[in-house]
């Protein structure tokens, strides 16, 4: 734990201020000066941070800052939230909107790509601005929730599109919104008969777990079925407080899934990923996706070879419970949607049998059904 953070803010880790999520949000670290008070930064790092802040703002909650190694620039949590000059180096294949979400946005705040589900961007504010965010073009533009007019237009679109049965509320991070405003969105969605499932996508349990309050959970319980997708990338993010926040969500009857991003020199190792996944299932979080890092501008230093991700899935398969192994996916550029990738375990296939390779590399034959073929 980085004790410099507590000294800088003049609070204790068990103080009322520290445990108040609104205090955490108000006291986010947003400048090079603040950052240099809690981390050891070289002059070169300071110049790189200041340069990168010209394109994408910084915000780190005091809680998450307390988890960063003050002396090690290669700290896997520090690399996710501290700006780098690498973010300003744009490759020819990188774009501002690599998933082409704007093309699939019929009205403001809605992305409707898949037939039966829609993405509702309820805010562009996050508690902490991750440097690997695919929505860097928008996230951080505002520190206020969606307007009533935008909210109503987005909900009207969903209400008038009966094939939408599943709505994912995301952003930004919707749990940075106060309970009352968030409930106004969820209640309107729940009143739409064809909306069967409401999901919330959030990184809050990792970066500001004190936001998961009894009042928030009591509100969410009124609108079941609610699902929550969380975002943990490294086992060190699953602290005692984060673990408690997630188990409280599960105790409220809300299923949890986790989405990680494969990040170079952060979690691109089968051992680290195994530790993360096993911690997740202990916290009653189902590992859902590992994403290959998207092609947003300034992402090259975060990206790994695709083969590395496939190798991690291969190394995990058979060595931990099947439900603990997530799908490895690429969110295809230009709006192609999520495409799962699998290690090559089909050796041969014909009308008589399939030969398959197991996690140990052994090959087994499975006969095809013969009924009606002779």
Domain spans of the chain, in order of start: 3-88, 110-341, 346-374
113, 138, 284, 286: which one is catalytic?
A: 113
Look at residue 141 in the predicted model and tell me its pLDDT: 64
126, 131, 136, 246: which one is catalytic?
A: 126
φ/ψ of 100, rounded to 5, equals 55, 40
C-alpha distances out from residue 27 to 18, 56, 192, 208, Å: 10, 19, 38, 12
Active site residue 113: yes
Mean pLDDT of 72-97: 90
- Using the predicted structure, report yes or no on whether residue 119 has a pLDDT greater than 70: yes
147 compared with 19, residue with greater pLDDT: 19
- Each residue of 201-212: pLDDT tens digit? 999 999 999 999
- Each residue of 142-163: pLDDT tens digit? 666 678 899 999 999 999 999 9
Active site residue 133: yes
57, 117, 284, 327: which one is catalytic?
A: 117
Active site residue 294: yes
- Using the predicted structure, report yes or no on whether residue 373 has a pLDDT greater than 60: no
130, 274, 279, 291: which one is catalytic?
A: 130
- Using the predicted structure, report yes or no on whether residue 248 has a pLDDT greater than 60: yes
109, 131, 135, 137: which one is catalytic?
A: 135
Look at residue 140 in the predicted model and tell me its pLDDT: 65
- Using the predicted structure, report yes or no on whether residue 289 has a pLDDT greater than 70: yes
The rounded mean pLDDT for the chain is 91
Mean pLDDT is lowest, of 21-30, 37-46, 259-268, 328-337, for 328-337
Active site residue 338: yes
d(CA 104, CA 42): 43
- Each residue of 75-87: pLDDT tens digit? 999 999 999 888 8
- Using the predicted structure, report yes or no on whether residue 372 has a pLDDT greater than 80: no
* The CATH number of domain 110-341, selected from 3.30.70.270, 3.40.50.2030, 3.20.20.70, 3.40.50.620: 3.20.20.70
Greatest alpha-carbon pair distance for the chain in Å reads: 81
Mean pLDDT of 24-28: 97
pTM of the complete model:
0.92
8, 114, 223, 288: which one is catalytic?
A: 114
Q: Is 280 buried (19+), middle (13-18) or exposed (0-12) by CB count in 10 A?
A: buried
Active site residue 331: yes
188, 286, 338, 357: which one is catalytic?
A: 338
Q: Is the dihedral of CA 142, 65, 274, 205 positive or negative?
A: negative
Look at residue 97 in the predicted model and tell me its pLDDT: 81
Q: Is 284 buried (19+), middle (13-18) or exposed (0-12) by CB count in 10 A?
A: middle
Look at residue 48 in the predicted model and tell me its pLDDT: 84
75, 133, 246, 293: which one is catalytic?
A: 133
Contact 174, 200 (CB under 8 A): yes
Encode 324-361: b = buried (16+ Cβ within 10 Å), e = exposed: bbbebbbbeeebeeeeeeebeeeeeeeeeeeeeeeeee
Give me 11's structure tokens. 């609070």
Active site residue 26: no
- Using the predicted structure, report yes or no on whether residue 27 has a pLDDT greater than 60: yes
- Using the predicted structure, report yes or no on whether residue 51 has a pLDDT greater than 90: no
Look at residue 142 in the predicted model and tell me its pLDDT: 63
Look at residue 30 in the predicted model and tell me its pLDDT: 93
């Amino acid at each position: 734990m980085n004790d410099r953070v507590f000294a800088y803010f003049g609070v204790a880790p068990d103080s009322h201020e520290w445990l108040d999520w609104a205090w955490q949000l108000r006291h986010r670290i947003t400048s090079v000066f603040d950052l240099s008070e809690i981390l050891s930064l070289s002059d070169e790092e300071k110049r790189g941070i200041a340069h990168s802040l010209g394109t994408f703002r910084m915000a780190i909650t005091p809680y998450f800052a307390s988890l960063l190694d003050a002396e090690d620039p290669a700290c896997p949590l520090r690399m996710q939230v501290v700006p780098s000059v690498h973010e300003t180096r744009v490759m020819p294949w990188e774009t501002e909107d690599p998933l082409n979400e704007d093309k699939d946005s019929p009205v403001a705040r809605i992305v409707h790509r898949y037939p039966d589900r829609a993405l509702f961007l309820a805010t562009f504010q996050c508690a902490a601005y991750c440097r690997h965010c695919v929505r860097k073009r928008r996230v951080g533009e505002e520190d206020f929730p969606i307007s009533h007019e935008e909210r109503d237009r987005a909900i009207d679109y969903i209400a008038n599109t009966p094939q939408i049965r599943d709505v994912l509320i995301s952003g930004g991070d919707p749990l940075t919104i106060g309970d009352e405003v968030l409930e106004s969105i969820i209640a309107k969605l729940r009143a739409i008969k064809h909306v069967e499932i409401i999901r919330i996508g959030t990184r809050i349990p990792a970066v500001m777990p004190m936001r998961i309050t009894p009042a928030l959970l009591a509100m969410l319980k009124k609108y079941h079925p609610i699902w929550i997708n969380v975002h943990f990338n490294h086992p060190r993010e699953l602290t005692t407080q984060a673990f408690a926040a997630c188990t409280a969500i599960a105790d409220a009857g809300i299923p949890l899934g986790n989405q990680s991003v494969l990040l170079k020199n952060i979690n691109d190792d089968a051992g680290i990923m195994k530790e993360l996944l096993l911690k997740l299932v202990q916290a009653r979080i189902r590992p859902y996706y590992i994403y290959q890092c998207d092609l947003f501008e300034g992402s090259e230093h975060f990206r790994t070879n695709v083969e590395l991700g496939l190798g991690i899935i291969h190394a995990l398969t058979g060595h931990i419970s099947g439900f603990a192994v997530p799908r490895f996916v690429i969110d295809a550029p230009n709006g192609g949607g999520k495409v799962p990738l699998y290690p090559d375990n089909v050796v041969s296939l014909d009308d008589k049998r399939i030969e398959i390779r197991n996690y140990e590399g052994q090959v087994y034959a499975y006969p095809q059904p013969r009924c009606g073929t002779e």
